[in-house]
């Protein structure tokens, strides 16, 4: 038996397999061939690397992409791993089309068709592609959470384990200000978890629960609806080859503090609903193929017995300045990619007249130099290559991002869009006009939003 120290960290690789109608692809044999190919043809792989050159593989026609996504060693010093020092964990997956076709109401009396209480998607789903990469956080929170949940689910699936001696409720709670990516992160985690645990589950289902609708519309009915919802979840979980992920958004509306509701008018209903959720969670924790994700803006309004059951409580803050830059950068690069913004035709527009370096450069090399032509560079590139070019687009965007620190991710993505809609008049427009438009929107909407108070307002009401 291998000793614990001899066990190598896992390097996770995701292989997306094409779903060609009329053909049956053996994902297990694709996986085997890719493992063999990577182990024999590569000495090292880098996190985020899109592995190319697989055309010669026998089953290459079935492969859409191969991507190195994470390493359980979590070494922040390097993103490159030698293959003889890691264990390759290659997971193949096929994307399902959007909804399960099972979007349905948990009420059976037929009166609530306009307000379904939950919605089911097959995982991994086409509609969630890109979510994971679109999220920007100050810390590697998504990868850390994914590793933790994967590990916990693996440990808890050990049939030898005496569950009465350990406590694991399969419950994750993301909390924080509005618009910081909590719901998006839950969906992305469910998608990634299904792929990561592909060796155990053939596919996944994401059950998204519309908690406010259970209370608001069906006053007096809530506890019955919650009970039925958990029955539905148990029925789904009966198929042990399916990973069942449950997303309860705005969980405070279903699990309000019982002390508080007991003193209000809606005593019976809300109180019974909270009790029903707690009972439902206690039953579900014995299902080895279930994981529950919850979000909330109002931790203080959640019942303490519910909070006590949460295994992982993660605060999701507003983005810091560097994360704000990355969010704005992806928005502006998308405008460039679609031809809505174009680089300035006159290099004088973007050259810094006070900069001695530019005098040595032929002006055909604009301040986009060292970077992908026209696209906004990473912050690292800005700091490294553009430190003495304050008028370059990258530097200008960085100073605007610093002013926008403390705004939510949702607000930042909206600002980029609003800037162009309000202050530019035709397509295409220049990148510099786009940046001026962003500066105007920031001036108009957040005139007093200074960097100094950004950190304080990063907590909650900064909008």
Ligand X SMILES: Nc1ncnc2c1ncn2[C@@H]1O[C@H](COP(=O)(O)OP(=O)(O)OP(=O)(O)O)[C@@H](O)[C@H]1O
Binding site for ligand X (CB under 6 A): 134-137, 178-184, 295, 297, 319, 327, 409-410, 413
Which of 141, 135, 188 is CA-nearest to residue 408?
135
Cβ-based nearer residue to Mg ion, 142 or 434 = 142
Which partner in ligand X, Mg ion, none is near 137 (CB below 5 to 8 A by kind)? Answer: ligand X
Minimum distance of Mg ion from residue 251's CB (angstroms): 10
Q: How far apart are CA 371 and CA 20, in angstroms?
A: 37
- Chain-centroid distance of CA 282 in Å reads 27
- Read out DSSP for 68-123? EEEETT--TT-SEEEGGGSEEEEEEE-PBPSB-S--B-S-SSSS-TTS-SEEEEEE
- Of residues 219 through 258, those in contact with Mg ion by CB under 5 A are none
By beta-carbon proximity to Mg ion, the closer residue of 212 and 347 is 212
413 binds, among Mg ion, ligand X, none (CB under 5 to 8 A by kind): ligand X
Specify the residue, 88 or 327, whose C-beta has the smaller distance to ligand X. Answer: 327
Chain residue whose CB lies nearest ligand X = 409
* Nearest in space to 291 (alpha carbons), one of 312, 317, 316: 312
Out of Mg ion, ligand X, none, which partner does residue 179 contact, by CB within 5 to 8 A per kind?
Answer: ligand X
135 binds, among Mg ion, ligand X, none (CB under 5 to 8 A by kind): ligand X
Nearer to ligand X by C-beta: 184 or 194? 184
Per CB under 5 A, contacts with Mg ion among 421-460 are none
Q: For the CB of residue 67, give the shortest distance to ligand X in the complex, in Å.
A: 20
Contact yes or no for 325/401 (Cβ under 8 A): yes
Judged by beta carbon, residue 179 or residue 454, the one nearer ligand X is 179
Residue with tokens 């379904």: 116
In the numeric block, which tokens belong to residue 426? 């035709």
The DSSP code sequence of 133-196 is HH---SS-HHHHHHHHHHHHHHHHT-TTS-GGG-----EEEEE-STTSSHHHHHHHHHHHHHHH
* Residue 134 binds: one of Mg ion, ligand X, none (C-beta under 5 to 8 A by kind): ligand X
Closest separation between CB of residue 143 and ligand X, Å?
14
Q: How far is the CB of 232 from ligand X (least distance, A)?
A: 23
Binding mask 150-189 for Mg ion (x = CB under 5 A): ---------------------------------x------
> How far does Cα 134 stand from its chain's mean position?
7
Q: Which is nearer to ligand X, 15 or 294 (CB)?
A: 294
| Binding-site partner at residue 59 among Mg ion, ligand X, none, CB < 5 to 8 Å by type | none
Taking CA atoms, 188 is separated from 198, 247, 251, 342, 354, in Å, by 15, 11, 18, 32, 46
Residue 410 binding: pick among Mg ion, ligand X, none (C-beta 5-8 Å cut-off by kind): ligand X
Shortest distance in whole angstroms from residue 123 CB to ligand X: 17
Contact 227, 280 (CB under 8 A): yes
Q: Which is nearer to ligand X, 237 or 401 (CB)?
A: 401
Residue 198 binds which entry of Mg ion, ligand X, none, CB below 5-8 Å type-dependent: none
Q: How many residues does the chain have?
A: 463
124, interface contact from ligand X, Mg ion, none, CB < 5-8 Å by kind: none
Strand partners, 314: 174
Task: Spell out the long-range contacts of 438-442 with Cβ–Cβ below 8 A and sequence spacing 24 or more.
Answer: 438/328, 438/397, 438/400, 439/400, 441/415, 442/400, 442/403, 442/404, 442/415
Which of residues 183 and 436 has its CB atom nearest to ligand X in the complex? 183
Q: Which is nearer to ligand X, 195 or 415 (CB)?
A: 415
CA distance to 60, 411, 440, per residue, from 421 (Å): 44, 15, 12
Binding stretches for Mg ion (CB under 5 A): 183
């Amino acid at each position: 038996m291998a000793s614990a120290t001899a066990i190598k960290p896992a390097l996770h690789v995701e292989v997306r397999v094409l779903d060609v109608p009329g053909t049956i692809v053996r994902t297990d044999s694709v996986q085997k061939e890719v493992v063999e190919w990577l182990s024999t043809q590569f000495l090292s792989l880098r996190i985020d690397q899109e592995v190319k050159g697989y055309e010669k593989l026998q089953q290459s026609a079935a492969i859409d992409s191969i991507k190195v996504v994470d390493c359980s060693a979590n070494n922040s010093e390097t993103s490159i791993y030698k293959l003889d020092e890691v264990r390759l964990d290659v997971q193949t997956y096929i994307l399902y089309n959007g909804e399960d076709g099972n979007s349905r109401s948990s009420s059976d009396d037929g009166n609530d068709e306009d307000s379904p209480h939950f919605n089911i998607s097959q995982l991994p789903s086409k509609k969630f592609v890109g979510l994971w990469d679109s999220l920007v956080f100050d810390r590697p929170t998504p990868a850390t959470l994914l590793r933790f949940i994967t590990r916990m689910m693996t440990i808890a699936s050990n049939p030898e384990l005496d569950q009465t001696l350990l406590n694991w409720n399969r419950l994750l709670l993301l909390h924080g200000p509005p618009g910081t990516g909590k719901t998006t992160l839950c969906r992305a985690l469910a998608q990634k978890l299904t792929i990561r645990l592909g060796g155990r589950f053939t596919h996944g289902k994401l059950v998204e629960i519309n908690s406010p609708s259970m209370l608001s519309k069906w006053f007096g009915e809530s506890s019955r609806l919650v009970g039925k919802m958990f029955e539905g979840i148990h029925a789904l979980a009966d198929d042990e080859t399916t990973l069942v992920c449950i997303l309860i958004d705005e969980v405070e509306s279903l699990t309000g503090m019982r002390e508080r509701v007991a003193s209000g008018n809606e005593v019976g209903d809300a109180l019974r609903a909270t009790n029903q959720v707690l009972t439902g969670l206690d039953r579900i924790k014995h299902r080895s193929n279930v994981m529950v994700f919850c979000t909330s803006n109002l931790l203080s309004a959640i019942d303490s017995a519910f909070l006590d059951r949460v295994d992982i409580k993660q605060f999701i803050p507003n983005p810091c300045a560097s994360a704000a830059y990355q969010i704005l950068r992806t928005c502006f690069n998308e405008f460039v990619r679609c031809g809505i913004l174009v680089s300035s035709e006159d290099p004088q527009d973007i050259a810094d007249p006070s900069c001695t370096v530019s005098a040595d450069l032929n002006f055909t090399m604009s301040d986009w130099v060292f970077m992908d032509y026209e696209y906004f560079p990473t912050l690292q590139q800005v700091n490294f290559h553009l430190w003495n070019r304050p008028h370059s687009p990258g530097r200008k965007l960085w100073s605007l991002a610093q002013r926008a620190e403390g705004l939510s991710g949702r607000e930042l993505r909206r600002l980029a869009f609003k800037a162009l809609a309000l202050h530019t008049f035709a397509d295409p427009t220049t990148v510099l006009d786009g940046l001026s438009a962003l500066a105007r929107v920031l001036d108009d909407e957040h005139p007093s939003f200074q960097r100094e108070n950004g950190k304080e307002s990063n907590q909650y009401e900064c909008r």
